Amino acid sequence: MQIEAVELRTVSLQLKSPFRTSFGTEHVKDALLIRVAADDCEGWGECVASAEPLYSSEYLAGAMDVMRSFLLPILFASGDVAAADVGRLLAPVKGHRMAKAAVEMAVLDAELRRSGTSLARRLGGVVDRVPSGVSVGIMDSVPELLDAVGDYLDQGYVRIKLKIQPGWDVDAVRAVRERFGDIPLQVDANAAYRLSDARQLCRLDAFELLLVEQPLAEEDLRQHAELAKLMTTPVCLDESIVSASAAADAISLGACRVINIKAGRVGGYLEAVRIHDLAVASGVAVWCGGMVETGLGRAANIALASLPGFTLPGDVSGSDRFFAEDLTEPVVMRGGYVDVPTGPGIGATPLDAAMKRMTTAKSTVSRHD
Ligand code: OSB
Ligand code: MG
């Protein structure tokens, strides 16, 4: 397709409750959305960069700038563009994978809407619903945590992930195990530990967790491999896996037995599928991560999670896990599952009224600007 115009839009969604991780506390979700328009189709992308560069080096205003200054001019100059070409066309620009992923997602959505194909079908999905896990933030107290976990279990979530950090780890996990027994349980440290904390991390081995996610820093592949030798709990990587190449390195180093795949972090849904394929071929389990996406990114993540290698429940919760109101029809979790969208493209579209209310800024870049 020949892209004629691109709309960049920031939206702000109120969170139902603050979401606290080892790197900060979010009260609102600020997202960057991109809409590409060609003469016979349009498509939506969502950029997972946060307002501040605390999870990774990318951040929302930076993503918007790199799109406007570098990524979109390349697409406009490229004439007829297919989604499968976007990664290669944007490769001369180093890094900025979250921005690139959003651009590719929008082109992919447009292409699939035009052909009437769902994203799940295009990526190779094999199921029509996927099990739904929930990520539970750090709380002020253990009783508060137990209330939150109890509520999610009552709603039907099939797997609980606890955010941890030094000072909020073994006691929190023990309390959840004692209250709720043998539930599928895992933890996510968002790089809050160092290899010298190995003794404390090994204390988690007593609780038969499914995995410990990203205990050490993004760059510390070798140190994750050292830690993995010391722990019986499987080490899972999130932040460290920025590409299929990084995944191949991590696997061959023995740095992880499990990978959290987030399309935004790795430069797009097509690279996400390559990591899935590589992991399956290597006997590494994968699951679909989340970045508190709106209904757009949430729908696309569920499509990705329908591929056969996603053998562990993902952070693919219902919209109401985070938002009282989403900007699309909400993703609904029922009986522990969310349905894989079947409509053309990502299978979700913004609702005009909600979108209008939630928009904080909007601009358009055209081929002829
Ligand atoms: O590390 O998985 C993470 C949310 C924002 C940034 C990083 C992470 C998260 C989550 C997933 O834990 C939350 C979700 O979208 O369900
Ligand atoms: Mg994580």
175 close to 145: Cβ distance less than 8 angstroms:
yes
Mean pLDDT of each 10-residue bin along the chain, 369 residues long: 97 98 97 96 98 98 98 97 98 98 98 98 98 98 98 98 98 98 98 98 98 98 98 98 98 98 98 98 98 98 98 98 98 98 98 98 94
Ligand nearest 159 Cα, by number? 1
Nearest CA to ligand 1 atom 6: 291
Closest atom of ligand 1 to 293 CA is 15
Nearest CA to ligand 1 atom 8: 291
101 close to 267: Cβ distance less than 8 angstroms:
yes
Let me know how long the chain is: 369
Q: Which are the catalytic amino acids?
A: 163, 262
328 close to 350: Cβ distance less than 8 angstroms:
yes
| Residue whose tokens read 């933030």 | 137
What's the CA-to-centroid distance between 213 and ligand 2, angstroms?
6
Ligand 1 pocket test, candidate residues 20, 57, 135, most atoms within 8 A of CB: 135
pLDDT given at position 330? 98
187 close to 162: Cβ distance less than 8 angstroms:
yes
pLDDT given at position 369? 86
Ligand 1 pocket test, candidate residues 15, 21, 333, most atoms within 8 A of CB: 21
56 close to ligand 1 (CB < 6 Angstrom): no
What are the chain's domains? 3-116+351-366 (3.30.390.10), 121-339 (3.20.20.120)
CA 156 to CA 150: how far, in whole Å?
Answer: 10
Q: Is 64 helix (H, G, I), strand (E, B) or coil?
A: helix
Closest atom of ligand 1 to 315 CA is 16
pLDDT given at position 163? 98
Residue 233's contacts (CB-CB under 8 Å, 6 or more residues apart) are 204, 205, 209, 211, 212
Q: Which residue, among 219, 271, 261, has the nearest Cα to 236 in the 3D structure?
A: 261
Nearest CA to ligand 1 atom 7: 291
Could you give the residue ranges of the DSSP H alpha helices within the chain? 60-66, 72-77, 83-90, 97-115, 119-123, 142-155, 170-180, 198-202, 221-230, 244-253, 269-282, 295-305, 352-358
**pTM across the whole model:** 0.98
Query: Going by DSSP bridges, is the β-strand pair 212-213/185-188 parallel, antiparallel, or unpaired?
Result: parallel
What is the residue-wise DSSP string for 131-197?
EBEEEE---SSHHHHHHHHHHHHHHT-SEEEEE-BTTBSHHHHHHHHHHH-S--EEEE-TT---GGG
CA 30 to CA 271: how far, in whole Å?
Answer: 25
